[in-house]
């Protein structure tokens, strides 16, 4: 599994690098896929409400109302309908990418299993919403979806009568399915919204809005796609015929064509297999969890900074339990803690300047204790040679740091740069233990611990407690955010920082969009300013193209040009296996008083067998068992065959009496099948076969 993660991680890291160059790290869509999922949800909800206002449920009304909306008011309803479809397709794309990205970054094991499993359930909701949406329009695609979904569901042994029997032909179609679909299509998104909320429950400040510029650009691009390539219906549904082909939405219906290849049972197996394989990933293999953060009440003053900064909501502030004169204390829930150490970086008592008592802060990771960190820093600084010399605090998830061979840099690994209390930078710089400090973490938009990069930037810039004190010259503090594949950028940043320290630079390079007193950083090497907007438009258009194309093409062939269809179906209770008989007084006495009736009628029924001949050849035989726990329900069958169009001699026979030979009913017809015609053979007791 690790090799797959590594390959995917490399792919995402490279894509991040390219998109950073094209759009800038803040606007890179790949680092905000979850937030883009939320945006898609809102776009779908708004456009869906608009479409629903003009939508009529019902066999004929559904298609007619959607056509009127698409063509009668293309400038509003048409755009809304297309936006509804394309945002739904985009939701599938961003969700799958989001899932792959979390997998690639190994953000699914340990405590994170919760987000992974709730995410998987969200995929289920997305598909229920999408499939019922296509069903409601009642065009030819809807007919295909209805038939194929029913056939798929009928393979489950839970329905007493096949759902497919609701779609035998136009005459038998009732509006109740449309009402059901409309309910499901409205309530499934509401349930999905509740699940989306559950999905991010364990996250402090979950990012549910993409950066504004990106959100606007994606919305405009989707509206543009809606204008250039409006979503259309595919001709009205007609159950009396089978279309030769249908255009599929390959985002929602990619498994449907496999029904004909694998059959419904195997397709369930495949879908279930995929789900189970994904569901066990958080435990494949289980994460050996490092110890959780621990609170030292003697040193905790209840300031709640750790509570504010913990990205995973693992800390709660509770009433003081030890009698010290503070109102609250921090409490860590070890089941939610990922051991990132960010809380220690936030704690004001985690300061290396403390001399009077042993350095035990209010909160810290036992395996990366703050006293040990101070010792490491002192030891590393005492070994530094050369001028200028720097100390690099490197997060273990980011790019490697190769210190120069001359001993002018010392590298200290931390679980996340957010674990470093700013007072450590203060110590190194103001005590001149090194000329500079570099904080080297993950890719800017993709901090492994979610908020480590952001909190570090803000603490250094003096925008978030605990601040890096003003007395620390910021040109002696550098940040470098780079993913493992961006090691060159890391090396260049380090060389440039050391060069700037050597030159005694007093002014920092201007940093666009940075507030406060930011640290030094190597200006990002992007594309020339004039090229960027053009490239961004090209990238957005390129992202829209597959949405437009795969939402209705390529088509799937449903039958050959000269083929017709025969539907063979019944839902019929076989005859009782035993006659009713009069009970003797002794038999009556054995029964409980409330069940004493003078006649006893055993409930079991005979199975129903059927046989179909076309042009003198038996093409189908089947026996169906009675439904029900006591074999007392109806036996049911729904089968469809493609047959050559043209004249056919048809004979059909049915046995429901358990007789050893012969049949109880039969019918014969000479028919001339038109290409695409759906010829139905149904059975009704006591009339017998209905052929039409």
**Binders in 69-98 for ligand HEM, by CB under 6 A:** 95, 98
What is the rounded CA–CA span in Å between residue 209 and residue 216? 11
Q: Residue 119: which of ligand HEM, ligand SF4, none does it interact with, CB under 5 to 8 A by kind? A: ligand HEM
Which range binds ligand HEM by CB under 6 A, 80-88, 120-128, 288-296, 453-461? 120-128
Q: Which of 371, 335, 366 is nearest to 352 (CA)?
A: 371
What is the rounded CA–CA span in Å between residue 120 and residue 626? 37
Which range binds ligand HEM by CB under 6 A, 106-114, 209-217, 267-275, 654-662? 106-114
8-state DSSP, 339? -
Sign of CA dihedral 653, 654, 657, 661: positive
- Least distance (Å) from ligand SF4 to the CB of residue 362? 3
Q: To 5 degrees, how large is the angle CA 95–CA 227–CA 92?
A: 10
x/- track of binding to ligand HEM for residues 174-203 (CB under 6 A)? ----------------------x--xx--x
Closest CB to ligand SF4 among residues 341, 462: 341
What is the rounded CA–CA span in Å between residue 45 and residue 39? 10
- Least distance (Å) from ligand SF4 to the CB of residue 512? 30
Query: Does position 207 bind ligand HEM by CB under 6 A?
Result: yes
Choose, by CB under 6 A, the member of 206, 214, 370, 453 that binds ligand HEM: 206
- Least distance (Å) from ligand HEM to the CB of residue 44? 10
Q: How, if at all, do strands 581-582 and 599-600 pair?
A: antiparallel
Query: Does position 115 bind ligand HEM by CB under 6 A?
Result: yes
Q: Which residue has the tokens 């026979």?
A: 653
- Least distance (Å) from ligand HEM to the CB of residue 6? 18
Closest CB to ligand SF4 among residues 346, 494: 346
Closest CB to ligand HEM among residues 175, 286: 286
**Binders in 592-611 for ligand HEM, by CB under 6 A:** none
- Least distance (Å) from ligand HEM to the CB of residue 340? 10
Q: Residue 146: which of ligand HEM, ligand SF4, none does it interact with, CB under 5 to 8 A by kind? A: none
Q: What letters, b where the CB count within 10 A reaches 16 and e where it falls short, cover 487-517?
A: eebbbebbebbbebbeeeeeebeeeeeeebb
What is the rounded CA–CA span in Å between residue 568 and residue 570? 7
Closest CB to ligand HEM among residues 443, 605: 443
Q: Residue 349: which of ligand HEM, ligand SF4, none does it interact with, CB under 5 to 8 A by kind? A: ligand SF4
607, 592 contact by CB (below 8 A)? no
Interacting residue ranges for ligand SF4, rule: CB under 6 A: 292-293, 295, 300-306, 310, 312, 314-315, 330, 332, 337-343, 346-347, 349, 362-363, 365
Which range binds ligand HEM by CB under 6 A, 204-212, 269-277, 453-461, 596-604? 204-212
- Least distance (Å) from ligand HEM to the CB of residue 125? 8
Q: Residue 300: which of ligand HEM, ligand SF4, none does it interact with, CB under 5 to 8 A by kind? A: ligand SF4
608, 654 contact by CB (below 8 A)? yes
Report which residue's Cβ sits closest to ligand HEM: 119
End-to-end CA distance of the chain: 56
Report which residue's Cβ sits closest to ligand SF4: 362
Q: Residue 306: which of ligand SF4, ligand HEM, none does it interact with, CB under 5 to 8 A by kind? A: ligand SF4
Closest CB to ligand SF4 among residues 91, 346: 346
Query: Does position 8 bind ligand HEM by CB under 6 A?
Result: no
- Residue 5: HSE in the Cβ half-sphere, 13 Å Cα cutoff: 14
What is the rounded CA–CA span in Å between residue 419 and residue 564? 70
Closest CB to ligand SF4 among residues 410, 447: 447
Q: What Cα–Cα distance (Å) separates residue 487 from each residue in 162, 257, 393, 401, 481?
A: 60, 45, 15, 7, 10
Number of residues in the chain: 692
What is the rounded CA–CA span in Å between residue 521 and residue 518? 9
**Binders in 532-591 for ligand HEM, by CB under 6 A:** none
The continuous run of DSSP H or E covering 644 comes out as strand 635-644
Query: Does position 527 bind ligand HEM by CB under 6 A?
Result: no
652, 569 contact by CB (below 8 A)? no
What are the E-state strand segments in 31-137?
none
Query: Does position 99 bind ligand HEM by CB under 6 A?
Result: yes
Q: Residue 167: which of ligand SF4, ligand HEM, none does it interact with, CB under 5 to 8 A by kind? A: none
- Burial-class residue 525 by CB neighbours within 10 Å (0-12, 13-18, 19+): exposed
Closest CB to ligand HEM among residues 83, 99: 99
Closest CB to ligand SF4 among residues 92, 337: 337
User: Residue 549 CB: number of other CB atoms within 10 A?
Assistant: 12
User: Residue 330 CB: number of other CB atoms within 10 A?
Assistant: 25
Q: Residue 293: which of ligand SF4, ligand HEM, none does it interact with, CB under 5 to 8 A by kind? A: ligand SF4
Q: How far is CA 481 from the centre of its chain?
A: 28
- Least distance (Å) from ligand SF4 to the CB of residue 103? 21
627, 636 contact by CB (below 8 A)? yes
What is the rounded CA–CA span in Å between residue 455 and residue 447? 11
Q: Residue 301: which of ligand HEM, ligand SF4, none does it interact with, CB under 5 to 8 A by kind? A: ligand SF4
Closest CB to ligand HEM among residues 107, 305: 107
Closest CB to ligand SF4 among residues 129, 338: 338
CB-based contacts of 638: which residues, under 8 Å, 6+ apart?
A: 151, 154, 162, 164, 165, 168, 567, 568, 569
**Binders in 33-72 for ligand HEM, by CB under 6 A:** 34-35, 37-38
x/- track of binding to ligand HEM for residues 376-415 (CB under 6 A)? ----------------------------------------
Number of residues that bind ligand HEM (CB under 6 A): 25
Choose, by CB under 6 A, the member of 68, 120, 412, 619 that binds ligand HEM: 120
What is the rounded CA–CA span in Å between residue 513 and residue 119? 33
Q: Which of 380, 318, 362, 378 is nearest to 466 (CA)?
A: 362
Q: Residue 115: which of ligand SF4, ligand HEM, none does it interact with, CB under 5 to 8 A by kind? A: ligand HEM
Choose, by CB under 6 A, the member of 9, 450, 474, 605 that binds ligand HEM: 450
- Least distance (Å) from ligand HEM to the CB of residue 117? 8
Q: Which of 586, 584, 579, 575 is nearest to 601 (CA)?
A: 579
Binding site for ligand HEM (CB under 6 A): 34-35, 37-38, 95, 98-99, 102, 107-108, 112, 115-116, 119-120, 122-123, 196, 199-200, 203, 206-208, 450
């Amino acid at each position: 599994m690790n090799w797959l993660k590594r390959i995917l991680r490399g792919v995402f890291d490279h894509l991040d690098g390219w998109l950073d160059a094209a759009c800038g790290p803040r606007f890179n869509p790949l680092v905000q896929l979850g937030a883009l999922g939320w945006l898609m949800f809102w776009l779908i909800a708004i456009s869906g409400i608009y479409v629903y206002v003009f939508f009529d449920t019902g066999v004929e009304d559904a298609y007619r109302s959607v056509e009127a909306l698409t063509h009668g008011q293309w400038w509003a309803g048409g755009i809304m309908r297309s936006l509804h479809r394309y945002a739904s397709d985009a939701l599938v794309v961003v969700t799958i990418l989001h899932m792959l990205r979390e997998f690639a970054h190994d953000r699914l094991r340990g405590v994170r299993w919760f987000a992974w499993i709730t995410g998987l359930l969200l995929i289920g909701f997305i598909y229920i919403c999408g499939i019922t949406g296509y069903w409601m329009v009642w065009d030819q695609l809807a007919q295909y979806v209805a038939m194929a979904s029913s056939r798929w569901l009928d393979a489950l042994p839970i329905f007493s009568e096949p759902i497919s029997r609701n779609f035998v032909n136009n005459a038998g179609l009732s509006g109740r399915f449309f009402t059901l679909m409309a309910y499901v299509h409205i309530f499934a998104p509401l349930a999905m919204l509740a699940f989306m909320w559950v999905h991010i429950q364990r996250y402090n400040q979950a990012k549910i809005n993409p950066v504004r510029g990106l959100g606007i650009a994606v919305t405009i691009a989707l509206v543009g796609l809606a204008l250039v390539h409006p979503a259309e219906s595919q001709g009205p549904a007609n159950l009396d015929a089978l279309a030769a082909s249908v255009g599929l939405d390959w985002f929602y219906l990619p498994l449907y064509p496999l029904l004909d290849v694998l059959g419904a049972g195997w397709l369930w197996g495949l879908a279930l297999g995929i789900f189970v394989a994904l569901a066990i990933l958080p435990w494949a293999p289980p994460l050996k969890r490092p110890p959780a953060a621990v609170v030292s009440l003697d040193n905790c003053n209840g300031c709640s900074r750790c509570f504010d900064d913990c990205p995973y909501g693992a800390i709660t502030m509770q009433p003081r339990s030890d009698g010290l004169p503070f109102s609250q204390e921090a409490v860590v829930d070890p089941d939610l803690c990922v051991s990132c150490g960010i809380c220690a970086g936030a704690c004001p008592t985690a300061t290396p300047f403390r001399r009077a008592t042993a350095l035990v802060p209010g909160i810290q990771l036992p395996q990366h204790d703050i006293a040990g960190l101070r010792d490491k820093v002192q030891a590393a600084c005492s070994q530094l040679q050369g001028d200028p010399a720097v100390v690099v605090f490197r997060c273990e998830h980011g790019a490697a740091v190769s210190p120069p061979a001359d001993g002018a840099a010392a590298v200290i690994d931390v679980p996340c740069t957010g674990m470093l209390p700013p007072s450590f930078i203060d110590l190194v710089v103001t005590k001149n233990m090194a000329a500079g400090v570099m904080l080297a973490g993950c890719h800017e938009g993709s901090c492994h611990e979610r908020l480590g990069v952001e909190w570090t930037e803000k603490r250094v810039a003096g925008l978030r407690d605990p601040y890096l004190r003003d007395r620390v010259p910021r040109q002696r503090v550098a940040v470098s955010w780079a993913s493992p594949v961006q090691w060159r950028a890391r090396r260049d940043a380090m060389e440039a920082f050391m060069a700037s320290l050597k030159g005694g630079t007093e002014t920092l390079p201007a940093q666009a969009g940075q507030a406060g007193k930011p640290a030094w950083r190597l200006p990002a090497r992007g594309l020339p300013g004039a090229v960027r907007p053009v490239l961004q438009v090209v990238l957005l258009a390129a992202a829209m193209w597959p949405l437009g194309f795969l939402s209705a093409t390529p088509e799937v062939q449903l039958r050959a040009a000269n083929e017709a269809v025969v539907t063979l179906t019944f839902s019929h209770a076989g005859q009782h296996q035993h006659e009713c008989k009069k009970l003797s007084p002794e038999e009556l006495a054995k029964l409980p008083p409330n069940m004493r009736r003078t006649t006893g009628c055993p409930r079991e029924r005979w199975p129903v067998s059927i046989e179909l001949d076309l042009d003198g050849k038996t093409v189908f035989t089947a026996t169906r068992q009675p439904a029900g726990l006591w074999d007392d329900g109806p036996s049911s069958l729904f089968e469809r065959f493609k047959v050559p169009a043209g004249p056919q001699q048809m004979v059909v026979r049915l046995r429901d009496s358990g007789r050893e030979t012969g049949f109880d009913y039969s019918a014969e017809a000479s028919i001339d099948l038109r290409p695409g015609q759906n010829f139905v053979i149904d059975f009704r007791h006591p009339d017998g076969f209905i052929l039409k």
